[in-house]
């Protein structure tokens, strides 16, 4: 009697576990599909931005006779504004030593008083 009861309980428990696992698998599959779509959209956006960047560079370099070396120097300067030469522009708050207000490290100078941040790294 006890055996049948526990066996029946065990089967019901297993079925509930399987239903939960199936739901979890479906949820994971949906999340994967969403991530794939987002990744494709991001890739499309990056490719469009890269194309626009190239078009802008060609326009500017032709109009102002700029060289690749000048572009590279400027890119290094912008890269270093966040204190790290990592090919990225990570923004962080920057307190201006002149006026004490907080600007963003992406900017070349203080938004409030105009002091140049160039080459200086402070938090």
Residue ranges in contact with Zn ion by CB under 5 A: 96, 98-99, 110, 112-113, 115
Nearer to Zn ion, 9 or 112 (CB): 112
Least distance in Å: CB of 91 to Zn ion?
Answer: 17
**Is-contact 115 99, C-beta < 8 A?**
yes
Least distance in Å: CB of 120 to Zn ion?
Answer: 12
Nearer to Zn ion, 43 or 107 (CB): 107
Helices (H) and strands (E) in the chain, counts: 2, 2
DSSP state of 1: -
Spatial CA neighbour of 31 closest among 41, 43, 39, 19: 39
* CA–CA dist 15, 33 (Å, integer): 27
Nearer to Zn ion, 18 or 113 (CB): 113
Least distance in Å: CB of 97 to Zn ion?
Answer: 8
């Amino acid at each position: 009697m006890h055996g049948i009861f526990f066996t029946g309980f065990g089967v019901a428990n297993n079925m509930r576990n399987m239903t939960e696992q199936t739901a979890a698998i479906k949820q994971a599959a949906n999340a994967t599909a969403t991530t794939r779509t987002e990744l494709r959209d991001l890739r499309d956006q990056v490719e469009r931005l890269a194309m626009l960047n190239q078009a802008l560079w060609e326009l500017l370099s032709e109009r102002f006779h700029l060289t690749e070396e000048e572009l590279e120097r400027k890119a290094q300067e912008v890269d270093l504004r966040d204190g790290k030469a990592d090919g990225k522009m990570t923004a962080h708050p920057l307190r201006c030593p002149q006026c004490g207000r907080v600007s963003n490290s992406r900017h070349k100078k203080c938004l409030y008083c105009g002091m140049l941040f160039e080459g200086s790294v402070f938090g």
